[in-house]
Amino acid sequence: MTLSGKTAIAGIGATEFSKESGRSELQLAAEACVDAIKDAGLTPSDVDGLVTFSSDSSSEIAVARELGIPGLSFFSRVEYGGGAACGTVAHAAMAVATGQAQTVVCYRAFNERSGHRFGQAAPRSDRGVTSTGMEFSWHLPYGFATPAAWVAMYARRYMHEYGATSEDFGRVAVAMRRHAATNPKAWFHERPITLEDHQASRWVVEPLHLLDCCQESDGGVAIVVTSAERARDLPNPPALIRGAAQGAGPNQMMMFSYYETDLTTLPAMGRVGETLWRQAGLGPADVRAAILYDHFTPFVLVQLEELGFCGRGEAKDFVADGGVELDGHLPVNPNGGQLGEAYIHGMNGIAEAVRQVRGTAVNQVAGVENIIVTAGTGVPTSGLIISRF
């Protein structure tokens, strides 16, 4: 039994990406969902399932109320921050493939810049005596309180093991900003940076400069999942879901799996990659482009290694050789990624993958038959392989 090829993404939608949306997160969610449903050539009454992130502030029933969806047969939430992104589509695909729902919309919408910002240090752990609260309690008291800091701990060890440098991380940021510069929807449209800009940007948490960290955004993105057969009858070319996987590694923690694992690796992503390649019957040589979650530059390097695009410790050379550029060996995040386009918790990357498969992206990579998409790293994560029908 396999999920591969049974479902497809029929519609994508989004709000504008900004630093201050000026409206509620629920409104952003509703707007993004309506946009995606229209893109699929459907109406809200066709939708019978909703999936979002556990961390989203708008409940499925609230979104259903706003959209006028008459009823839901399936609703689900996916845990672990940005690691949920592709997981929402995986849940939707499972529901559709098993007949639990006909058409499921996945959404994520927030005012991450004008409202609650994830990058700020929480004054105290209010998570209490939960398992997650316990995890944070080994880290927060030391002022080790931000995602940038948690990723920096991995990055420092990666530099030590493989001789990677801050410039190696910086080249990722430069590439993403170059891609964003030609994407009118990107926040950093027409605002590329140089490696010198990267090096001159202030420290956030050494070894990460400001420009190693993705921006913060307000906005929403929604994805419509339905059966492959049904998608074929809808207006846009279907983006077939060939692979959909979630993954957690050994002794996994939220973003600090430092205790028994090799800090230069992301075992959760390795697991997702293996599952995706197996489900799709494909390998790294079969994808023409990749959407790699880029909240922090160092993990783009580690993902290239975990997914098999290069060997351990070789990603810095892969990137330095221009491998992730639009004309490179593996164009990564042609939309500019979260560093350049917007930080919508990885959901805007899924939309870009769909556009690449449809052939409608602004920075279209020629001949994209298959594309791999990943979700937040460091946390338990997820991934997709999307293919032309």
By beta-carbon proximity to other proteins, the closer residue of 62 and 210 is: 210
State how far Cα 1 lies from the chain centre: 27
Residues whose CB falls within 8 Å of the CB of residue 152, separated by 6 or more in sequence, listed in order: 205, 206, 207, 208, 296
Q: How far apart are CA 177 and CA 252, in angstroms?
A: 32
By beta-carbon proximity to other proteins, the closer residue of 138 and 389 is: 138
By CB under 8 A, residue 330 contacts other proteins: no
98-137 positions binding other proteins, by CB under 8 A: 119-121, 123-125, 127-130, 133-137
By CB under 8 A, residue 248 contacts other proteins: no
By CB under 8 A, residue 144 contacts other proteins: yes
Catalytic residue ranges:
293, 343
Q: How far apart are CA 162 and CA 135, in angstroms?
A: 29
By beta-carbon proximity to other proteins, the closer residue of 140 and 362 is: 140
CB of 140 to other proteins, least distance (A): 5
Give the DSSP letter string of 45-83: GG--EEEEETT-SS-HHHHHHHHT----SEEEEE-SGGG
Among all chains, which residue has been given the structure tokens 């690691």?
83
By CB under 8 A, residue 258 contacts other proteins: yes
By CB under 8 A, residue 200 contacts other proteins: no
By CB under 8 A, residue 162 contacts other proteins: no
> Among 340, 323, 301, which Cα is nearest to 213's?
340
By CB under 8 A, residue 163 contacts other proteins: no
User: Quick check: 223 and 87 in contact, CB under 8 A?
Assistant: no
Candidate list 184, 202, 285, 327; residue touching other proteins; CB under 8 A: 202
Q: How far apart are CA 261 and CA 221, in angstroms?
A: 34
Start-to-end Cα distance in the chain: 20
Site string for other proteins, 205-244 (x = CB under 8 A): xxx--x----------------------------------
By CB under 8 A, residue 154 contacts other proteins: yes
By CB under 8 A, name the binding residues for other proteins: 119-121, 123-125, 127-130, 133-146, 149, 152-154, 156-157, 160, 202-207, 210, 251, 256, 258-260, 263
